[in-house]
A and B are shown apart, each in its own frame.
Chain A
Amino acid sequence: EADIYQTPRYLVIGTGKKITLECSQTMGHDKMYWYQQDPGMELHLIHYSYGVNSTEKGDLSSESTVSRIRTEHFPLTLESARPSHTSQYLCASRDSASGANVLTFGAGSRLTVL
């Protein structure tokens, strides 16, 4: 069972609200990622982090922001949610020391913005 946890699993909110999606991993992995997944579409990388205080934007432009203050924690924040932000958000992590390019995913946070 994956040791990476996302909360909330489901969230329905109104336009303009601020939301934070939480992601925590207990594996001590240095690299963490946020992907956005829409039905029938490939996963798109929106943010990644190579370690504490390191964050980068991914390939897909996103109005969200992330922070990495602790190794195990990588929250994603939307300051003002809009219906276009409705999607599934997947958090993942990887141990770069293992040499294997394998991601461990959380169960996802499904966001609906009305």
Chain B
Amino acid sequence: QKEVEQDPGPLSVPEGAIVSLNCTYSNSAFQYFMWYRQYSRKGPELLMYTYSSGNKEDGRFTAQVDKSSKYISLFIRDSQPSDSATYLCAMSGMDSSYKLIFGSGTRLLVRP
């Protein structure tokens, strides 16, 4: 079983829709949670970063962490065609290596 599970999609939504992307994980030691966005033929870029549980908002993006359920989410409000990309969740514990474990990514397509 993978440490981090992420639905690969693709997820197709109309412009303006609210998008919900999710990951589940099995390692209760994870404390750092990230969302990366990866456009086609590009490297991943950091979108959101949270520590431990709770919510974090940045413009149209909201990241949620529920450690009791081992579940993290990324919400995108008023989705735009430019949001079309693959979204990767990533997480790590607090040991000295801070090794990141990535999900396999969800492909999102926002239709104009």
Q: Which residues of A contact B (CB under 8 A)?
A: 2, 6, 40-43, 45, 59, 90, 92, 94, 100-108, 110
Residues of A within 8 A of B88 (CB): 42-43
The answer, among B8, B43, B98, B104, for a CB contact under 8 Å with A108, is B43
Near A by CB (< 8 A), chain B positions 85-112 give: 88, 92, 98-105
Residue contact B104 to A90, C-beta cutoff 8 Å = no
Residues of chain B at interface, number, CB under 8 A: 24
Q: Which residues of B sit under 8 angstroms from A103, Cβ to Cβ? A: 44, 46, 100
Whole-angstrom CA separation of A42 from B44 in the bound complex:
12
Q: When chains A and B are docked, how far (Å) is the Cα of A24 from the Cα of B109?
A: 32
Q: How far is the CB of B47 from chain A (nearest CB, A)?
A: 11
* A-B pairs, 4 with minimum CB distance: A105-B43, A43-B102, A42-B104, A42-B102
